[in-house]
Amino acid sequence: MTTNFEPGPSFSDGIKYEVDLTGQNSDVEFEDSGSWINDPFDPEKIDVVTRTPTVSLLLSRIKRGTIDLAPDFQRHAGIWNDTNQSKLIESLLLRIPLPTFYAAETDEEVWAVVDGIQRLTAISRFVDPQAMELKPLVLQNLGYLDKLNGLRFPELPGRLKTRLEETEVVLHLIRRGTPEEVKFNIFARINTGGMPLTAQELRHALIPGRARLLLAELADSPEFKAVTLGSVATGRMADREMVLRFIAFWRTDPETYRKQDFDKFLRVAMSDINTASDAEVERVGASFRRAMTVAQEIFGRHAFRKQRRNQIGRYPINKALFETIAVNLAGCSPEQVGRLIQRQVEVNEAMVDLFAQPDFDRAISVGTGDVAKVRLRFAAVNALIRDHDGSV
């Protein structure tokens, strides 16, 4: 039995892709996790207020650290260049209202901004760049106030400085005490610039702490870049979600997985990283990198992608398959890994047969957060590995 594993151009074949910031496919298969709000909540605890803070007040909060802009949250990267930022400042000077800001209040009364990060960054960069340790913004390519081109904030006439600092914006704030799953659901409904926030963008914005740094570090690791061919778009944090899913199932035995709300499962996992010991974080990172290296050795250019007999080209990365294979490989001993690499042709053949099984295909394609499907896919890949690593 011979299977064609030669690489070729990516193909659609009816496959739905996640999209990057430009609307192009991100080389990650679109997933239906089947998540929903599962736990009951008291509607009386939903507390959303509308505030109209001035620019000066917002900048003051940024200085004190009571506004969290999720430092590396680069939504719409490449769009907010110096000209775009300058025109935002021009809008304020022309008294043109800005779009509404959205934020959530933490237990420490910090405002975690979900929609408006780039706008606040631009304002801070112009009015008070030291507050965020940014390079000062010099106004350029203004459409109406062209006489201000080339100026920084200290060089503006006093009346314009005052106008900027006293400008009021509209901010909807979800107060602390609102159930977490409802908070996330509210923000998931917000459409920002025609492109709703992804689940991982929401987690990143609303769960501060060391988890942000760990996910970014591992998503940018040479091992991850190599095994994914550097093709996973970073702009919408699909890469960080993949890392998080590995960590979640590496620290939670899939056999004990009982969460029907898969998004909540990942939120809890991300929060848990923030309280993990340094030693545990080191172990997680080492296990992740090792799993990436082993996956590349065994599966090559088809790692974490569906494979069909005699296919031409390759499928996009499948996130459910990613976590399943990576966690199983991370649990293998060096001796097992050696035998799997020696038998990589047979392992790939067995994977093709596994993909042909309807139950397994559904377990990595539809309702992937379902308890039965999680256990099925982990057990199936574990059995396949044990069949080829000399354990049986």
pLDDT in tens, 182-198: 788 777 766 555 556 78
Q: CA angle, corner 55, sides to 157 and 115, nearest 5?
A: 135
Residues 128 and 253 in one domain: no
Q: Are 368 and 266 in contact (CB under 8 A)?
A: no
Q: Is residue 189 part of a domain?
A: no
Q: Is residue 55 part of a domain?
A: yes
Q: Is residue 147 part of a domain?
A: yes
pLDDT for position 291: 97
Residues 202 and 333 in one domain: yes
- Residue 12 pLDDT > 60: no
The predicted model scores a pTM of 0.76
Residues 266 and 345 in one domain: yes
- Residue 38 pLDDT > 60: no
Q: Is residue 183 part of a domain?
A: no
Looking at the DSSP bridge assignments, the partners of residue 104 are 112, 174
What is the residue range of 170's domain?
Answer: 47-177
Residues 139 and 205 in one domain: no
Listed in sequence order, the residues at least 6 apart from 243 whose beta carbon sits closer than 8 Å to its beta carbon are 214, 215, 218, 219, 224, 288
Q: Are 244 and 269 in contact (CB under 8 A)?
A: yes
Residues 357 and 225 in one domain: yes
pLDDT for position 11: 43
pLDDT for position 190: 67
Q: Is residue 10 part of a domain?
A: no
Residues 250 and 313 in one domain: yes
Could you give the number of structural domains in the chain?
Answer: 2
Residue of higher predicted confidence among 40 and 375? 375
> Given pLDDT bands bounded at 50, 70 and 90, which one contains residue 279?
very high
Residues 98 and 241 in one domain: no
Residues 67 and 148 in one domain: yes
What's the average model confidence in pLDDT over 291-315?
88
pLDDT above 90 covers what percent of the chain? 57
Determine the Cα–Cα distance for residues 238 and 219; give it in Å rounded to an integer: 9
Closest-CA residue to 281 (of 215, 219, 203): 215
- Residue 72 pLDDT > 90: no
Integer-rounded Cα radius of gyration of the chain? 24
Q: Is residue 42 part of a domain?
A: no
Q: Pick the range with the lowest mean pLDDT from 31-35, 224-228, 323-327, 381-385.
A: 31-35
pLDDT for position 79: 55
- The helix (run of H) or strand (run of E) holding residue 7 is none
Q: 299: which 2 tokens?
A: 């599966």
Q: 153: which 2 tokens?
A: 């904030």
pLDDT tens per residue, range 124-138: 999 999 888 889 999
Q: Is residue 11 part of a domain?
A: no
Q: Are 45 and 177 in contact (CB under 8 A)?
A: yes
Residues 303 and 330 in one domain: yes
> Given pLDDT bands bounded at 50, 70 and 90, which one contains residue 353?
very high
At which of 177, 211, 227 does a domain end? 177
> Rounded mean pLDDT of the chain?
85
pLDDT above 70 covers what percent of the chain? 83
Determine the Cα–Cα distance for residues 362 and 303; give it in Å rounded to an integer: 19
How far is residue 240 from each of residues 157, 213, 215, 218, 233, measured CA to CA in Å?
45, 10, 5, 8, 10
What's the average model confidence in pLDDT over 313-321?
87
Determine the Cα–Cα distance for residues 355 and 347; give it in Å rounded to an integer: 12
- The helix (run of H) or strand (run of E) holding residue 35 is none
* Torsion 57-60-62-64 (CA) sign: negative
Exposure class string for 299-317: b at 16+ Cβ within 10 A, else e: beebbbbbbeeebeebbbb
Q: Pick the range with the lowest mean pLDDT from 52-61, 143-152, 171-180.
A: 171-180
> Given pLDDT bands bounded at 50, 70 and 90, which one contains residue 1?
very low
Q: Is residue 2 part of a domain?
A: no
Residues 240 and 153 in one domain: no
Residues 358 and 313 in one domain: yes
- Residue 30 pLDDT > 70: no
Residues 247 and 127 in one domain: no
